[in-house]
Amino acid sequence: MPNYSDTEPKPNKVIKQLATPLVKAKVALYVSCLVNSLRPNVGFDCIKLLESLDLEVFIPPDQTCCGQPAYNGGHRAQAIAVAKHQIAALSNYDYLVVPSGSCAGMFINHYPRLLADDPVWLKKAQALAGKTKELCQFLIEQNWQATSTPSNHHMTLAYHTSCSCRRETQSHQHGEALLKQAGFTLSAMQDQEVCCGFGGSFAAKFDSLSGRMGDNKLKCAEDSGASALVSADLGCLLHLDTLKNNATTNMKFFHIAELLADACNDRGRRE
């Protein structure tokens, strides 16, 4: 028989400790204005993906716009007011997951800058920034795995890496890795790193230039042989969808959550 000192855990105590259920991490989903207003199914797909990781998912009811329109437009006071409201609404969770590199970048990079002169709020902004993850970034970090074959797996995809996922969250390579892991075929798209011309208010202020940049992006997607264009930023996709021409009229546009959620079990098939 082995000897156990008084300070060593006894076998039965070890077993009892291991049997104690782990506390699930509390994850807040930031839905974003575009998802909430124009393609809410993306939000439900995000919930399915997060719940597939056995996490406790919350949709904080007081969340609003992240404040980018005011911030990018130079309305600093309004942007600060929005930032404080969001910090209060979103901070009481282990993680904040955002299906948009653009909004995630606002939380991670720009809230601390906006509140740099207020020590109390700066500390709160930095804490929120530290727990904020762009969706694909979070799925990779949590080792998400596909559990079924997605209905659209036969499609060849072109992946648009948004400027925000490249520069704000550095998660631009995660989306392609997740799609390949789920069984999709990705085409090599020329100028993948080039902006699509959306850029929020840029598309409104410089619509002609924005349109030409979008046309170039669609041409690259078409030349790649892809039948669908995918991105982690809905704003880019909606911009490009409005620029479809005769050559790209059959091109489909998907937020990455829509395809990955279809690779989880117990989901109804969708074309």
* pLDDT at residue 13 is higher than 80: no
- Assess whether pLDDT exceeds 80 at residue 17: no
pLDDT beyond 90 at 199 = no
pLDDT for 6 beyond 50: no
Q: Is the pLDDT of residue 3 over 70?
A: no
Q: pLDDT band at residue 22, thresholds of 50, 70 and 90?
A: low
Average pLDDT estimate for 89-108: 97
Q: What is the pLDDT of residues 147-168, one digit of tens each?
A: 999 988 889 999 999 999 999 9
Chain segment 25-41, per-residue pLDDT in tens: 999 999 999 999 999 99
DSSP for residue 30: P
pLDDT at 18: 46
Instruction: Place 205 in a pLDDT band, splitting at 50, 70 and 90.
Output: confident
The predicted pLDDT at position 220 comes to: 94
- What stretches of the chain show up as alpha helix (H) in DSSP? 11-19, 33-38, 41-51, 68-72, 76-90, 101-105, 111-114, 119-131, 135-141, 163-167, 174-181, 201-205, 207-223, 234-241, 256-261
Radius of gyration of the chain (CA): 21
pLDDT attached to residue 246:
66
Quote the distance between the C-alpha of residue 176 and its chain's center: 13
Q: What is the pLDDT of residues 230-270, one digit of tens each?
A: 999 999 999 999 898 766 678 999 999 999 999 987 544 34
Residue 161 and residue 192 in contact, taking contact as beta carbons nearer than 8 Å:
yes
| Phi, psi dihedrals of residue 156, rounded to the nearest 5° | -95, 130
* Pairing, β 185-186 against β 132-134: unpaired
Unique residue bearing structure tokens 């409005």: 242
Average pLDDT, the chain: 89
The answer to whether residue 1 scores a pLDDT higher than 50 is no
* Mean pLDDT comparison of 119-123, 191-195, 262-266, highest-scoring range: 119-123
Close Cβ partners of 139 (under 8 Å, ≥ 6 residues apart)? 49, 53, 174, 178, 260
Return the pLDDT at 247. Answer: 65
**CA-based torsion, 113, 114, 116, 119: positive or negative:** negative
Statement: residue 271 has pLDDT above 80: no
